[in-house]
Amino acid sequence: MSLKKYKIALATQNKDKIKEIEKILDEGFEIIKLKKFPKIVENGKTLEENAIKKAKTINKLTKMLTLADDSGLEVKALGGRPGVYSARFAGKRCNYSDNNKKLLKLLSNVPCKKRKAKFRTVVAIIFPSGKLKTVEGVVSGYIATQPKGSSGFGYDPVFYYPKLKKTFAQLTTAQKNRISHRAIAFKKAKKILR
């Protein structure tokens, strides 16, 4: 069976995420974008709960194969915060820059060696039959002392990846899509779909 037959409803409106996921999944999948997207309150206590809630909501509407992800940055020195609150760390109407500024301010007196962090993504897959599967992607790094790079989005300018000696925002799209938490999780999802 050809992968080109897979039509997927993606449970997100985040344009940056959609662009990244389309590149990770590649030409084998057709992502269907909803014209009217329901308001989904992400009030889960874990990334997994939020991903499942989003997937179930969109699957119920479309009756299609549905993928949803929830991602978070977990900083060891902050007890795992911002975690599930990563997107709204600096407040309800904050943007990427606001979140990065708050994070750097909280870590201003923390030495480099103690700035360990993890990016985590959980992908929920719901098949038209209602069967549910989840997969996870994790990548470890450090929080830089200042933003660097102009690629990517979210916390990418402050997430330093030691193996490449660069922040995620300093990587090319192709480099990031080989090693990121989202890439790891969606590649695992792709294997399940195959």
Which 8-state DSSP code applies to residue 93? T
- Concerning whether 26 is annotated as a catalytic residue, the answer is no
Do 143 and 107 meet the contact criterion of CB atoms below 8 Å apart?
A: yes
What is the dihedral angle through the alpha carbons of 82, 46, 57, 60, rounded to the nearest 10 degrees? 150
Q: What residues does 143 pair with on adjacent strands?
A: 159
Query: What are the tokens at 163?
Result: 């193996």
Residue 47 zone, left/alpha/beta (φ > 0; ψ -120 to 50; rest):
alpha
Helix (H, G, I), strand (E, B) or coil at 87: helix
Give the C-alpha separation, 103 to 105, whole Å: 5
Spot the catalytic one: 16, 26, 69, 70.
70
Q: Give the Cα separation of 93 and 189 in Å (integer).
A: 31
DSSP 173-191: HHHHHHHSHHHHHHHHHHH
Active site residues: 70
